[in-house]
Amino acid sequence: MYPTGRTSQDAPEKEVKKKRIKAKVGLAERPQVVEIEVPEQELPVWDLDSKLAVVGKRVPRIEGAEKVTGQAKYALDYVSKDLPGLLYGKTLRSPYPHARVEKIDASKARELPGVKAVLLFDKGEGFDPGKILDVMTEDAVSQPKGRVVIFEGEEVAAVAAESESIAEEAIRQIEVKYRRLPHVVDHEEAVKPGAPIVHRGMKDNLRRVDPQVRGDIDQGFKQAEVTIERTLRVPVLLHNSPECHVAVAKWEGPKLTVWASTQGVNGFRDELSKTFRIPPSDVRVITDHMGGGFGSKFGMQAYGAIAAALAKKAGAPVKLGYDRHEENLAAGNRPNATMWIKLGAKKDGTLTALHCRSFGTAGVGWDATVTPMMGIVYKCPNLRLEDTDVCTHAGQGMPFRAPGFPQGSFAIESAMDELAAELKMDPLALRRKNFVDQPLQALDKIYDLGAEKIGWSRRAEMGPETSSAVKRGIGMGTAVWPNYCGPPAHCRVTINSDGSAEAAMAVQDIGTGTRTLMAMVTAEELGLPVEAVKVTMGDTGLELIAPDSGGSVTALSITPAVRAAAAAAKAELFKRVAPALKAKPEDLVFENGKIFAPANPRKSLTWQQATARLGATPVSGRGERLPNVEPYAGIPLWGAQFAEVEVDTETGLVRVLRIVAVHEAGRALNPAMFESQVNGGVMMGVGYALLERRTMDQMEGRVVNPNLEDYKILSSFELPEIETVIVEPITPMNNIGGKGLGEPPTVPTAAAVANAVAQALGVRIYELPLSPDRVLETLEARKEA
Amino acid sequence: MSKTKKPKDTPSVSRRNFLKAASMAGGAISAAGLIVAPRDRAKAAPRPIPTPLGPGPVEVTLDINGQKHVLRVEPNVTLLEALREHLGMTGTKRICDHGECSACTVLIDGRATCSCMTLALDVQGKKITTIEGLAQGKTLDPLQKAFIDHDAFQCGFCTPGMILSLKATLNKHPHATPEQIKAAVAGNYCRCGALPNILKAGNAVAKG
């Protein structure tokens, strides 16, 4: 379900020699010394006693100058100046959600001057990019019944031409005769008997996921003194990454190079290799900079497959990207959900049972699961969590920042607040009562800080009883995301004779600061300033495997390997200069600008003197990400967010005034980038709460708002004040002492906002977004009741 | 007019296609004739009917970052396409290509303008500033520096448009208020969540 970055190069586990080491970890104000078992070659953990000069500082991103001057090169930026003879690809897509392609004629397109390749995808049902070699044809296939398309935006044909406008014209010239078939795009309709079936061969549109069960749910509800039961809904969201999906493919004989806007060069490379039946070593995927993915850019997908197929056919490099409209039909989305939830608790607030049944749609794809979050966020002995995927005739879902968690959070946090009201208990006190206690976990402190910063006690003066038409409220929600970081990740650090260093790894920077983190960790381990470190990345040609960027895995999967590589390179340097210092390499240290053996400090070399001795043969070291240290890898990434809102009961407009976001990621590697990550998660979450939804025309089965004007995200005028509070429980899970951060900041935001709105109005809205019409309808309904 | 694309088999006119078609039919008509004319007509003598341009490339001279560029492009080529595809100046980004995101913002005679909604033909003789032209040699513009100092970007794709939108406002109001800074980027799309720091960077420069 989650991107793991596992690739064809994973080595089988081998027996490793272990050693036991100690580390002082946890929060600075309540340190704990733990003994851990690690592989023989593992470095000591950067723990509470480590004095770090670079890591943990607000180091500006090293690619800053490139990005603010327009020099940073993205896949979309490859033009004919870079690749002479570059052709432009374009995809013809089905305008209908469900139809049979009765006739397809590309003869006019083929004759258009400047058109260099035309491919029809006219075999089979649906379009599977992995099978492009089998389904593509030059001419229409005389299938007895014709191919079936199952969502608006499905790939039907593609062209490559000398310019984008010729390609667009060629697409218009392809004549397709469709016969429409019945469709269903609403998941609540798609579950009904007699609904049109999306995937042929299935008896209905449902796929039940194995339920997650703990304890005895019936017993749990019997023990409960209070129960509440609610149904909540969340909409489909569109990623709308700034840079649309785009790939530039170039063949040289049997070898394929692709510049791609991807979250995973390694995964992309492996899929290309399989699809085009060539060895992985003949494929190179490059991502220098990329304009956002948020989960929608894993793997080769249709754009990668079509670009490479067109390039092969045309015998020239081809750039194929989606435009914004295509992006919003076919590049992924966050599945929606209808969630029925039932909670049972004792009068003191102790949860005794949790039952959730959810169903949602990932369109023609799978995985609308939302309940895993509920299984880990609060302590509850008896639970039953059931998810069902419902297929509809719409573009397939893709992971979307914290897949499934913001949905689940909205359901359980809403239910927790209503349970608190039922119990006449403070909502935060209810959370504290059911707090998951784990070693080195700082959730108690996270709650304390959040409550203090938002002014939780001010809630008492808020709510519907105030005289003004504009009501205020404060609400909160807990952030949680499992730790998925770990091996494999391989890095090479080189020390050059001019004293500079280079860290290299086939990992991509998707905007999260990966490049800067690699430089910071290398600089820290070598004792150099960040400016002395160059980073080479985003290229499978480096053969230094790293995970795809998703699931908050990147930073702490790669940095332990970077550190190990830097340490290995430094050891190599010491080996080279030890004879000159008449010392053993292992006795040397680099401190205060000098390399020396502490036993003989008078004999020393400066870094520059030492590296100058390398001459034409620089030294390098390789480092590998070693396995996580248990049981600490099992501790999730925690946080909590508190929202203060204002609701105008006359217009229905909700304004989020302030979000206090308290988060932990173990060691915070760069507080400035930490805050930026949180800002991003919060903004997406507030958009989820108030504005964002994909709207479908039920009758036509088409997306009504596949653009940036009608699909509204947060802009500068709706931006709340965001206060990020960093809590730093150092973990001994890896040699850096950190965990990930990408997903948690967007998990509880919408729920916290919804809880604040419910407090302000004294009545709850059970469906996102909390748009003015819903606010007014809800207030109207209460009046009538 | 809805920008939702119509099915393949129904005739469709999108705003952008209309812009392009208008240009195809009568080049300069699109801007000089259709849009400005009603006001002009009241005070000026009737204009001569311009010669239709295209299809087929025409010569266009653009003054970009103080340098003249002569290129031959179809008359319907937007300034964004001319910059990126014809001149290889890819610092100007494309997010929506429909004037909804401001990522492609450039300065035209100092005014922040969406280059995807502007025909290259129509900005001849005007001073065009792109993100590539903001720094003086290796010295960054204070706004560029402020973006780095305040971590005002993540993926960086919206950054050039953000900087130029702010630049236009700061050129006009060197001590812009926080509200003016907010307004400067209100139409700029950012998905990573860099906006809070973008506002900080803009405000820092406005304070001087």
| Percent of chain A whose predicted confidence (pLDDT) is above 70 | 97
Tokens 């639970």 belong to which residue? Answer: A383
In A82-125, alpha helices (H): 107-111
Beta strands in A235-372 (DSSP E): 246-252, 255-260, 283-286, 318-321, 337-345, 351-360
Tokens standing for residue A318: 């081809």
DSSP β-bridge partners for residue A246: A321
Q: Show residues of chain A in contact with B135, CB under 8 Å.
A: 69
Is residue B68 helix, strand or coil?
strand
Q: Are A551 and A743 in contact (CB under 8 A)?
A: yes
Q: What is the pLDDT of residue B26?
A: 40
Residue of chain B nearest A66, judged by CA positions? B156
Q: Show residues of chain B in contact with A512, CB under 8 Å.
A: 154
| Residue A99: φ, ψ to 5° | -160, 160
Q: Are A344 and A353 in contact (CB under 8 A)?
A: yes
CB–CB of A681 and B96 under 8 A?
no
Q: What is the pLDDT of residue A440?
A: 87
Tell me how close the Cα of B18 comes to any Cα of chain A, in angstroms. 14
* pLDDT band at residue A703 using 50, 70 and 90 as cut-offs: very high
Q: What is the pLDDT of residue B4?
A: 42
Q: What is the pLDDT of residue A13?
A: 57
pLDDT over threshold 90, residue A652: yes
pLDDT over threshold 60, residue A673: yes
Q: What is the pLDDT of residue B202?
A: 98
Residue in B135, B145, B191 closest to A713 by CB: B191
The tens digit of pLDDT for each residue in A602-649 reads 999 999 999 999 999 999 999 999 999 999 999 999 999 999 999 999
CA atoms in the 13 A half-sphere facing the CB of A93: 26
Q: Checking DSSP bridges between strand B58-64 and strand B67-73, what pairing results, if any?
A: antiparallel
CB–CB of A61 and B8 under 8 A?
no
pLDDT over threshold 80, residue A347: yes
The tens digit of pLDDT for each residue in A406-418 reads 999 999 999 999 9
Q: What is the pLDDT of residue B42?
A: 53
Q: Are B56 and B100 in contact (CB under 8 A)?
A: no
Residue of chain B nearest A672, judged by CA positions? B151
Residue of chain A nearest B73, judged by CA positions? A163
DSSP for A162-227 reads: SSHHHHHHHHHH-EEEEEE------HHHHTSTTPPPSSTT-SSSEEEPPPEEES-HHHHHHH-SEE
Residue in B76, B93, B196 closest to A679 by CB: B196
Q: Show residues of chain B in contact with A323, CB under 8 Å.
A: 97
Q: Are A652 and A752 in contact (CB under 8 A)?
A: no
* pLDDT band at residue B52 using 50, 70 and 90 as cut-offs: confident
Q: Which of A325, A287, A320 is nearest to A301 (CA)?
A: A320
Q: List CB contacts of A524: < 8 A, sequence separation 6 or more.
A: A52, A53, A54, A55, A563, A566
Preferred mutation among B155, B162, B181, B205 to probe A, highest tally of A CBs within 10 A: B155
* pLDDT band at residue A137 using 50, 70 and 90 as cut-offs: confident
In A280-371, alpha helices (H): 301-314, 324-330
Q: What is the pLDDT of residue A142?
A: 52
Rounded mean pLDDT, B1-27: 43
Rounded mean pLDDT, B140-162: 98
pTM of the predicted model as reported, rounded to 2 decimal places: 0.93
pLDDT over threshold 60, residue B1: no
Q: What is the pLDDT of residue B22?
A: 44
The tens digit of pLDDT for each residue in A186-200 reads 999 999 999 999 999
Q: Are A116 and A263 in contact (CB under 8 A)?
A: no
Residue in B134, B148, B195 closest to A719 by CB: B195
Residue of chain A nearest B152, judged by CA positions? A676
Query: CA-CA distance, A565 to A544, in Å (whole number)?
Result: 11
Query: CA-CA distance, B83 to B97, in Å (whole number)?
Result: 14
How many other CB atoms sit within 10 Å of the CB of residue A328?
Answer: 25
Residue in B89, B148, B157 closest to A291 by CB: B157
Length of chain B (residues)? 208
Q: What is the pLDDT of residue A140?
A: 66
Residue of higher predicted confidence among B41 and B79: B79
pLDDT over threshold 80, residue B28: no
Is residue A8 helix, strand or coil?
coil
Rounded mean pLDDT, A148-155: 96
Q: What is the pLDDT of residue B13?
A: 44
Rounded mean pLDDT, A141-165: 88
Q: What is the pLDDT of residue A144?
A: 62
Which B positions 85-144 lie with beta carbon below 8 A of chain A? 85, 88-98, 100-101, 103, 130-132, 134-135, 140, 144
* pLDDT band at residue A143 using 50, 70 and 90 as cut-offs: low
Residue of higher predicted confidence among A143 and B168: B168
Rounded mean pLDDT, A400-409: 98
Question: In what helix (H) or strand (E) does residue A612 lie, and over which residues does it extend?
Answer: helix A607-612
The region of weakest confidence among A347-361, A686-700, B8-22 is: B8-22
Beta strands in A482-520 (DSSP E): 490-495, 501-505
Domain spans of chain B, in order of start: 15-133, 142-207
CB–CB of A70 and B89 under 8 A?
yes
CB–CB of B148 and A511 under 8 A?
no
**Distances from the Cα of A363 to the Cα of A2, A369, A507, A612, A709, angstroms:** 18, 13, 30, 60, 23
Residue in A70, A291, A722 closest to B196 by CB: A722
Q: Rg of chain B over CA atoms, in angstroms?
A: 19
| Percent of chain B whose predicted confidence (pLDDT) is above 70 | 78
pLDDT over threshold 90, residue B197: yes
Query: CA-CA distance, A400 to A365, in Å (whole number)?
Result: 14
pLDDT over threshold 90, residue A9: no
Q: Checking DSSP bridges between strand A654-664 and strand A721-727, what pairing results, if any?
A: parallel
Q: Show residues of chain B in contact with A106, CB under 8 Å.
A: none
Q: Which of A504, A485, A508 is nearest to A263 (CA)?
A: A508
Q: What is the pLDDT of residue B3?
A: 40
How many Å separate Cα A593 from the centre of its chain?
40
Rounded mean pLDDT, A467-471: 95
Q: What is the pLDDT of residue A691?
A: 98
The tens digit of pLDDT for each residue in A480-526 reads 999 999 999 999 999 999 999 999 999 999 999 999 999 999 999 99
Query: Cβ-count burial of A723 within 10 angstroms (0-12 exposed, 13-18 middle, 19+ buried)?
Result: middle
Burial code (b: 16+ CB inside 10 Å, e: under 16) for A624-641 equals bbbebbeebbebbbbbbb
CB–CB of A707 and B98 under 8 A?
yes
DSSP for A327-340 reads: HHHHS--B--EEEE
CB–CB of A68 and B140 under 8 A?
yes
| Percent of chain A whose predicted confidence (pLDDT) is above 90 | 94
Q: What is the pLDDT of residue B15?
A: 44
* pLDDT band at residue B208 using 50, 70 and 90 as cut-offs: confident
Tokens 């809070």 belong to which residue? Answer: B196
Rounded mean pLDDT, A551-575: 97
pLDDT over threshold 60, residue B30: no
Residue of higher predicted confidence among A35 and A16: A35
Q: Which domains does chain A have, with CATH numbers?
A: 75-181+242-292+297-330 (3.30.365.10), 437-482+629-785 (3.30.365.10), 485-624 (3.30.365.10)
Q: Is A743 a catalytic residue?
A: yes
pLDDT over threshold 70, residue A331: yes
Tell me how close the Cα of B98 comes to any Cα of chain A, in angstroms. 9
Question: What is residue A769's DSSP assignment?
Answer: S
The tens digit of pLDDT for each residue in B56-111 reads 999 999 999 999 999 999 999 999 999 999 999 999 999 999 999 999 999 999 99
Residue of chain A nearest B158, judged by CA positions? A242
Tokens standing for residue A730: 């150092």
Q: What is the pLDDT of residue A146?
A: 73
What is the ipTM metric for this complex?
0.96
Q: Rg of chain A over CA atoms, in angstroms?
A: 28
* pLDDT band at residue B12 using 50, 70 and 90 as cut-offs: very low
DSSP β-bridge partners for residue A157: A92, A120
DSSP H helix total and E strand total for chain A: 19, 32
Largest CA distance in chain B: 57
pLDDT over threshold 50, residue A5: no
Q: Are A234 and A355 in contact (CB under 8 A)?
A: no
Query: Cβ-count burial of A700 within 10 angstroms (0-12 exposed, 13-18 middle, 19+ buried)?
Result: middle
Q: Which of B15, B138, B144, B127 is nearest to B63 (CA)?
A: B127
Query: CA-CA distance, A733 to A615, in Å (whole number)?
Result: 39
Q: Show residues of chain B in contact with A71, CB under 8 Å.
A: 91, 132
Tokens 């104000």 belong to which residue? Answer: A29
Average pLDDT score over chain A: 95
Q: Are A410 and A334 in contact (CB under 8 A)?
A: no
* pLDDT band at residue A384 using 50, 70 and 90 as cut-offs: very high
Q: Show residues of chain B in contact with A704, CB under 8 Å.
A: 4
Q: What is the pLDDT of residue A785?
A: 82
Which B positions 7-26 lie with beta carbon below 8 A of chain A? 7-9
**CATH for B15-133, options being 2.40.50.140, 3.40.710.10, 3.10.20.30, 3.30.1490.20:** 3.10.20.30
DSSP H helix total and E strand total for chain B: 7, 5
Q: Which of A381, A435, A377 is nearest to A408 (CA)?
A: A377
Q: Are A471 and A462 in contact (CB under 8 A)?
A: yes
Q: What is the pLDDT of residue B43?
A: 60
Question: What is residue A511's DSSP assignment?
Answer: S
pLDDT over threshold 60, residue B11: no
Residue of chain B nearest A510, judged by CA positions? B155
Q: Which of A211, A294, A481, A485 is nearest to A373 (CA)?
A: A481
CB–CB of B182 and A716 under 8 A?
yes
Q: Are A370 and A407 in contact (CB under 8 A)?
A: yes
Interface contact B196, partner A, CB < 8 A: yes
| Percent of chain B whose predicted confidence (pLDDT) is above 90 | 72
Say how many CB pairs under 8 Å bridge A and B: 201
Catalytic option among A743, A777, A780, A784: A743
Residue in A61, A65, A240 closest to B140 by CB: A65
Length of chain A (residues)? 785
Query: CA-CA distance, A76 to B72, in Å (whole number)?
Result: 22
Average pLDDT score over chain B: 85
Residue in B74, B100, B156 closest to A708 by CB: B100
* pLDDT band at residue B129 using 50, 70 and 90 as cut-offs: very high
Q: Show residues of chain A in contact with B4, CB under 8 Å.
A: 325, 702-707
Q: What is the pLDDT of residue A460?
A: 94
Q: What is the pLDDT of residue A126?
A: 78
Tell me how close the Cα of A604 comes to any Cα of chain B, in angstroms. 37
Q: Show residues of chain A in contact with B196, CB under 8 Å.
A: 679, 719, 722
CB–CB of A716 and B89 under 8 A?
no
Question: In what helix (H) or strand (E) does residue B172 lie, and over which residues does it extend?
Answer: helix B159-172
Q: Show residues of chain B in contact with A92, CB under 8 Å.
A: 8
**Distances from the Cα of A147 to the Cα of A100, A102, A140, B145, angstroms:** 6, 7, 10, 55
Q: Show residues of chain B in contact with A244, CB under 8 Å.
A: 95
Residue in A244, A291, A709 closest to B100 by CB: A709
Rounded mean pLDDT, A544-573: 97
At the second CATH level, the architecture of B142-207 is Orthogonal Bundle (1.10)
Q: Are B131 and A217 in contact (CB under 8 A)?
A: no
